[in-house]
Amino acid sequence: MNPNTAKNTRVEEVFDLFIQHMKGFLDEAQLNHEEYTNFVNWADRLGKKGEIPLFADVFLETHVLNAMYKDLPGTQPSLLGPYFVEGTPKLENENGEPFELPRRPNEPGETLYFKGKVKNVDGKVLPNTKVEMWHDDASGKYSNFDSDAPDYNLRGHFYTDENGEFEVKTITPIPYSIPVDGPTGEFLAYTEQHSMRPAHLHIMFIADGHETLITQVFFDGDEYLETDVAEGVRDDLLTKLERKGDYNEASLDFVMRKE
Ligand code: MBD
Ligand code: FE
């Protein structure tokens, strides 16, 4: 078939819907020409500042997740977000010691030991599952993006043991403010929303024969759980952060869906 005449019906369907709703939105909003120009200029700045992924992941991605996963069994996915990077270091551990996410000498923050157990929806434990983790530092920055830290700081991957379990040592993430100095921040100011996400660990699980699980872990009592600007919190992603002397401990079980 000639690829130029073959229709990609899914793209056509989605694009038609998009245009239809945009036109409906404009008919309802009754923008005047100045408002329209302001909107186009704002969208142009958003793109030029590289904030389209940020804006999309903060305001839109949660709706994609809801459409895909609401009411399915297994751990609820959460936002991938704009700060995932490929190529993180593979972490090794010795005789059952925790893995350690790379951190700077004297990395600020409270030590965190995070334990997890990975099963599937049939209750089978999943050994040798790839676990990819990343999170912000004690100044609320992600390495490889808005931070002075070396690339891959507080990022890494490792594999679950024969019981589907893992333990990782890192620092405790803190609530995160999305950048407010650009067009996304302008939008927040106009709509009178704060810019905060509750503290979270990003975590991705990859196991043969299973749907990749991209999710996040949140902590009970965080002041931004209810008002997360990106609406990423799901009930089964909450755990307790327990203070033990000079470190924190937390744990959560994860349930993967079969392919
Ligand atoms: C983040 O850290 C994040 O996880 C998401 C989803 C959006 C913006 C910043
Ligand atoms: Fe994040």
What ipTM score was computed for the predicted complex, to two decimals? 0.97
What is the reported pLDDT for 3? 55
> Smallest Cα–Cα separation from 216: which of 176, 164, 165, 162?
176
**How many DSSP H helices and E strands does the chain contain?**
5, 12
Question: Which pLDDT does position 19 carry in this prediction?
Answer: 97
Distance (angstroms) between ligand 2 centre and the Cα of 58 equals: 10
Helices (H), the chain: 9-29, 33-48, 52-59, 61-69, 183-190
Question: What pLDDT does residue 5 have?
Answer: 52
Position 95 scores a pLDDT of: 84
- pLDDT given for residue 98 in this prediction: 97
Q: What is the pLDDT of residue 2?
A: 52
CA of 108 to the centre of ligand 2 (A): 18
pLDDT of residue 24: 96
- In the chain the domains, ranked by start, together with CATH numbers, are 99-256 (2.60.130.10)
Q: Take residue 68 and report the two structure tokens written for it.
A: 């895909």
Tell me, what's the pLDDT at 6?
55
**Burial label, 202 (beta-carbon count in 10 A; 0-12, 13-18, 19+):** buried
What residue type is assigned to position 235 of the chain? D
Nearest CA to ligand 1 atom 3: 81
Parts of the chain with a pLDDT under 70: 1-7
From ligand 1's centre to the CA of 198, what distance in Å? 10
User: Which residue's CA is the nearest one to ligand 1's atom 4?
Assistant: 81
Count Cβ atoms below 10 Å from residue 37 Cβ, excluding itself.
11
In what order do the strands lie in the sheet containing 165-171? 99-100, 165-171, 111-120, 247-256, 242-244
